[in-house]
Amino acid sequence: MTITVSGTHIGVPAQLPSPVPAAEYETCPVTEVLRRVGDKWTLVVLVLLGRRPYRFNELHRAIEGISQRMLTRTLRTLEQDGLVDREVHPTVPPGVEYRLSPLGTSLLGPLSALADWATTHHDEIAAARARGGQ
Amino acid sequence: MTITVSGTHIGVPAQLPSPVPAAEYETCPVTEVLRRVGDKWTLVVLVLLGRRPYRFNELHRAIEGISQRMLTRTLRTLEQDGLVDREVHPTVPPGVEYRLSPLGTSLLGPLSALADWATTHHDEIAAARARGGQ
DNA sequence: CGGGATCCGCGAGGATACTG
DNA sequence: CAGTATCCTCGCGGATCCCG
C-alpha cells in the first residue's frame, strides 16, 4: 500500500483498496518508522546521538532507567536500519562509539516537526483529557 | 524535561539534566504522541478519518484485520485526546460518526513530514538491512 | 568496557460471545 | 449498529548473571 503524502497532509490515493490490506499496512514504510520511533527508548537515543557521539556505557548512564539489554537492542536495531553507525576501537578495554549516520540525522528534521506539534498542542490534549475523563 | 525543538532539528537544551530523568522522559509530550501514533492502528485510523467522516462499522470494514475491540479502544483514546470527535445520531438503529477534530487535522501536517521521510528513505533502510543482516 | 544469555512479568492486542 | 465483557496469547521490556 504505502501511505502516500501530498503537500501538507497525509493522503491515501483515491484508488486506495478498501479494505486497507492488513499485510501491506504492516509492511508500509510509514507504519514501520512510526512503530520504531514509537518504542520506548528510540527517541531519547536519537536525540542524544543527535548532539554528539556517545560510548555505550556513557549512553547507559545518560538515560536513567534504561536497561543494558534494551540499550543494546535499541542501538542494534538503529544500526541495522542504517540510522546509527557503530565504531569499534580495538583498544584494551574495548571502546565502542555510536553516532548518527547521515540517514539518521536526516530523520531529525521531520521528527522535529512532530515534536514541535506535540509541545505546541500539549495543553489542548491535556484539556481534552481533563474534560473527557482520564 | 520536554524535548525541545529548535529550527529543523530536535535539540535538547544545553542544560539538559544528565542522566535524562526517567519520569520526565515518559511524561514528555513528544514521547506520548510518538507512542500513541506508533501503536498498531492509530495511523491508519487517522489517515482514513483525514479523508472523510466514517461510521463505526464502516471503519471496521475499511481496515482489514482490526478487531472490534481495538477499533473501539483506538477511537476512544483519540477521542479522549481531542483528536477525534464522536457524533451520535439517536436513530434506530443508532448511527455514530467519527471525524477528525481541528486538533487532529493539525496533526496530519507534521505526521506527513515523517511519512514523507519514510517513503523517501525506505530504500536506504532496506539496503542497510540487506547489508547488516536481518 | 561492551555486551550476550536467560528468565520472567505485564500489557498490547486478538477471538469470541453477548447486549441496548 | 455500535459497542461491552471475558479470556487468552505473545512479545516488549526489565532483572540478573556471565564473558572476552
Task: Read off the pTM.
Answer: 0.93
Residue B7 lies in a domain: no
- Domain assignment of residue A1, yes or no: no
Task: Give pLDDT, residue A21.
Answer: 93
Task: Answer with the residue of higher pLDDT: A5 or B40.
Answer: B40
Residues of B in contact with A63 (CB under 8 A): 19-20, 25
The reported pLDDT for the residue numbered A10 is 63
Residues of B within 8 A of A20 (CB-CB) are 44, 48, 62-64
Task: Work out the minimum CA distance from A51 to partner chain B, whole angstroms.
Answer: 7
CA B1 to C1' D9, in angstroms, rounded, equals 36
Among A104, A37, A48, CA closest to B33: A37
Answer whether residue A14 is part of any domain. Answer: no
Place of cell 530523520: A107
What's the mean pLDDT in B21-38?
95
Specify if A4 maps to a domain: no
Enclosing domain of residue B116: 19-130
Find the CATH number of the domain harbouring B58.
Answer: 1.10.10.10
Q: Does some domain include residue A67?
A: yes
B131, pLDDT greater than 70:
yes
Q: Which parts of chain A have pLDDT scores under 70?
A: 1, 3-16, 133-134
Distance of A55 CA from D5 C1′ (whole Å): 49
Report how many domains make up chain A.
1
CA R_g for chain B: 18
pLDDT at B16: 66
pLDDT band at B12 (very low <50, low <70, confident <90, very high): low
Residue of A nearest to B43 (CA): A31
User: Among candidates B118, B109, B107, B108, which has minimal Cα distance to B29?
Assistant: B107
Model confidence band, residue B120 (pLDDT cutoffs 50, 70, 90): very high
- A103 contact partners, CB below 8 Å, separation of at least 6: A82, A83, B121, B124, B125, B128
Instruction: Look at residue A106 in the predicted model and tell me its pLDDT.
Output: 97
Inter-chain CB proximity A118 and B20 less than 8 Å: no
The pLDDT of residue B8: 47
Give the strand order in the sheet containing A95-100.
A54-55, A95-100, A84-89
Identify the pLDDT of residue B6: 47
A64: Cβ contacts below 8 Å, ≥ 6 apart = B19, B20, B21, B22, B25
Write out pLDDT tens, residues B64-117.
999 999 999 999 999 999 999 999 998 989 999 999 999 999 999 999 999 999
Count of A-B CB contacts under 8 Å: 223
- B99: CB within 7 A of chain D nucleic strand: no
A29, amino acid identity: P
